[in-house]
């Protein structure tokens, strides 16, 4: 595409001397290291770095033009000044790749918890309906036979629009996307046109970035603003306080509820250790639910997915088959070694609300056995949630093992100390844990902590390893190293861990 033609999609304040060159643009990027010959470079102001500092480097690598909020002297390439470089990036990306979201039936899912499960359920329903589907989310991006790990829940605009274009070009017709609060504030999904917009729930999260819960909610709400992101139907959890407030602001929506008579609600519901059996009242008629997913929160996730499918006009039988076909979601209360005498689960719960939900489900399923929980909190992230998670874990669990998550640049022991501040009236245990002991231990090494939990567990006990879910790495002092809770649990349970064996998992 010609540069002059591409720039017609944005409003710019001025251009550098010499104006806009009459050249073909081969790509768009915000990373000067990824610039290729005749690229368009967009300079973003970030939390750590300012893209303007890299305009000269981009020019040396072959950029023909830089889009920036402030001109740089001796840039080495043409410059176009805009008022908002993030909005410009989204518009340029959408135009460069030919507005691919307009050629797809798009479902956007936002909220604090449940986004991944809802997205997987909707994708499963699409497949059951015989539709060619794509998914963009926390675990991976995939369509057809393509599946790549997701570095971000919602990619930057150039990568996102390129991905959607690939979907369209390979015959994909429907796409479900997890939409993060960061992506909304940073305008990564600007120009995406959603046919359905789903709100799952809201609890405090990412406050290191958003500042307050209210600002976090306003970020999530951007997806539902009138005229924003397409005129699609909204699907909203009206049992959630913020969801109820949001429902008053939108015109066209389906509510879903376990407590009230929303458009989608159960007329019969049984949630057990084996899964969920229910009959839902929906705008499309009765939908029978039979799912191996467990817990009340998964009933909410199922209702959200059903609402999304109904908003797209999909038939009840396809909805039923799609829900039944999804046996698990990676790292979302995922059962490890189901044939083992102990019940072991891995869950992504890394917020107080998500951890409490997972623990309450497992506590209700454990019978006479004990609930043993392993968890930590990430470094360089919201510190306020750490004592809350310490309080929740130790109150609901019989034994809690506090360990490292992704400590990043923080001292793991300091993170653990913050977690311990929320623990009250629960004994700190030292050394090995007996069958009658209740309390908590501190084991900073995550591999050793998981091994201790498995060694401690007896037949009938339940072990939850929380916080990282599908992730297969740990970030320690800037180094990313392989670590997968699921693999560690599988190996430990599979070989019958001993005290000697457990130290093999030290990172």
| DSSP class per residue in 228-253 | SS-SPEEEEETTSHHHHHHHTT-SSE
Measure the CA–CA gap between 409 and 312, rounded to whole angstroms. 45
Secondary structure of 327-355 in HEC code, one letter for each residue: CCECCECEEECCCCCCEEEEECCCCHHHH
Strand bridging mode 399-402 / 196-199? unpaired
Spans in the chain with pLDDT lower than 70: 496-507
Burial environment of residue 271 by CB neighbours within 10 A (0 to 12, 13 to 18, 19 or more): buried
How many other CB atoms are found less than 10 A from the CB of residue 34? 14
Q: Exposure string (b/e) for 419-432, b if CB count within 10 Å is 16 or more?
A: bbebbeebeebeee
Domains along the chain with CATH numbers: 3-96 (3.40.1390.10), 100-325 (3.40.1190.10), 334-505 (3.90.190.20)
Interacting residues of 164 by C-beta distance below 8 A, sequence separation 6+: 97, 100, 101, 104, 134, 175, 192
Measure the CA–CA gap between 282 and 311, rounded to whole angstroms. 10
Using CA atoms, how far residue 488 sits from 344, 346, 473, 495, 507, in Å, is: 11, 11, 12, 11, 12
Give the per-residue pLDDT at 499. Answer: 38
Give the per-residue pLDDT at 504. Answer: 37
Give the per-residue pLDDT at 25. Answer: 97
Q: Kindly tell me the number of DSSP H helices and DSSP E strands found in the chain.
A: 16, 24
Q: What is the DSSP letter of 18?
A: T
Whole-model pTM above 0.95? no
Measure the CA–CA gap between 290 and 298, rounded to whole angstroms. 12
Dihedral Cα 432, 438, 442, 443, nearest 10 deg? 50
Angle at 285 between CA 283 and CA 290, to 5 degrees: 110
Query: Tokens 């997968």 appear where?
Result: 484
Give just the sign of the alpha carbon dihedral 136, 137, 141, 145.
negative
Measure the CA–CA gap between 449 and 441, rounded to whole angstroms. 9
Residue closest to 490 by CA, chosen among 327, 345, 293: 345
């Amino acid at each position: 595409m010609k540069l002059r033609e591409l720039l017609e999609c944005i409003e710019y304040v001025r251009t550098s001397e010499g104006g806009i060159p009459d050249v073909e643009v081969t790509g768009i990027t915000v990373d000067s290291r990824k610039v290729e010959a005749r690229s368009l470079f967009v300079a973003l102001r970030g939390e750590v770095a300012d893209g303007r500092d890299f305009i000269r480097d981009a020019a040396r690598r072959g950029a023909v033009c830089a889009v920036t909020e402030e001109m740089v002297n001796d840039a080495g390439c043409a410059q176009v000044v805009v008022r908002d470089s993030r909005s410009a990036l989204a518009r340029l990306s959408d135009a460069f790749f030919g507005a691919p979201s307009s050629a797809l039936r798009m479902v956007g899912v936002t909220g604090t918890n449940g986004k991944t499960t809802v997205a997987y359920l909707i994708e499963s329903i699409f497949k059951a309906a015989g539709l060619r589907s794509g998914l963009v989310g926390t675990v991976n991006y995939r369509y057809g036979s393509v599946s790549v790990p997701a570095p971000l829940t919602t990619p930057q605009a150039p990568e996102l629009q390129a991905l959607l274009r690939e979907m369209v070009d390979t015959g994909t017709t429907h796409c479900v996307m997890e939409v993060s609060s960061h992506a909304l504030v940073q305008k990564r999904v600007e120009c995406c046109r959603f046919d359905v917009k789903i709100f799952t729930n809201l609890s405090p999260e990412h406050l290191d970035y958003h500042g307050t819960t209210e600002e976090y909610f306003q970020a999530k709400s951007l997806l539902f603003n009138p005229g924003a992101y397409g005129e699609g139907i909204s699907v909203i959890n009206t049992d959630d306080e913020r969801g109820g407030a949001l429902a008053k602001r939108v015109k066209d929506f389906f509510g879903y509820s376990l407590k009230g008579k929303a458009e989608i609600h159960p007329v019969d519901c049984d949630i057990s250790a084996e899964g969920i059996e229910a009959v839902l009242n929906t705008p499309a008629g009765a939908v029978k639910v039979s799912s191996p997913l467990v817990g009340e929160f998964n009933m909410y996730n199922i209702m959200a997915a059903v609402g999304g499918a109904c908003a797209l006009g999909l038939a009840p039988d396809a909805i039923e088959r799609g829900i039944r076909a999804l046996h698990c979601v990676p790292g979302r209360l995922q059962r490890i070694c189901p044939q083992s005498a102990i019940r072991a689960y891995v869950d992504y719960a890394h917020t107080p609300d998500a951890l409490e939900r997972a623990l309450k489900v497992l506590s209700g399923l454990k019978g006479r056995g004990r609930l043993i929980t392993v968890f930590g909190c990430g470094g360089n992230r919201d510190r306020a949630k750490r004592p809350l998670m310490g309080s929740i874990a130790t109150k609901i669990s019989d034994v809690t093992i506090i360990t490292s998550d992704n400590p990043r640049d923080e001292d793991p022991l300091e993170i653990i100390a913050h977690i311990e501040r929320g623990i009250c009236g629960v004994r700190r245990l030292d050394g090995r844990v007996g069958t009658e002991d209740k309390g908590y231990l501190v084991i900073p090494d995550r591999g050793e902590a998981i091994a201790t939990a498995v060694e401690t567990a007896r037949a009938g006990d339940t072990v939850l390893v929380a916080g990282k879910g599908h992730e297969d790495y740990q970030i320690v002092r800037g180094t990313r190293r392989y670590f997968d809770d699921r693999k560690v649990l599988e190996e430990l349970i599979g070989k019958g861990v001993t005290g000697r064996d457990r130290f093999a998992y030290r990172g």
